[in-house]
Amino acid sequence: MRTCSLGAILLDIDEPERVLARSEQPIISPHQDQRDGYVPDVVYTCGGFAHDDTLVLPYGIADQTIAIATLSIDQLLGEMRPQESSWSPARP
């Protein structure tokens, strides 16, 4: 069975199509006790917000339950790995 997890990417503020870094591991994955539901093995979010150094992520689990995850923004950025982008948009 496939599992749908959440990762993180850091985009360039001036060229948001350019990925600067990404998490190597998922930041949220369904736990064993969160895998049953209408859509099993899935977690998803529609966004989050920052409060001081904390990223707050409300997320859905298996189309049945909701939860909130919190993590340190500094720690998350420290665990992200730089990306070499081979794709570039056409510029006028």
Structure-token pair, residue 10: 């850091």
pTM, to two decimals? 0.75
Helix (H) or strand (E) holding 71: strand 65-72
Number of other CB atoms surrounding residue 45 within 10 Å: 16
User: Are 11 and 20 spatial neighbours (Cβ–Cβ below 8 Å)?
Assistant: yes
The end-to-end CA distance of the chain, in Å, is 45
Q: Identify the pLDDT of residue 22.
A: 95
Write out pLDDT tens, residues 49-77: 999 999 999 999 888 889 999 999 999 99
Q: Identify the pLDDT of residue 74.
A: 96
Q: Identify the pLDDT of residue 87.
A: 55
Q: Identify the pLDDT of residue 83.
A: 87
Q: Report the alpha-carbon distance of residue 86 to residue 92 in Å, rounded.
A: 19
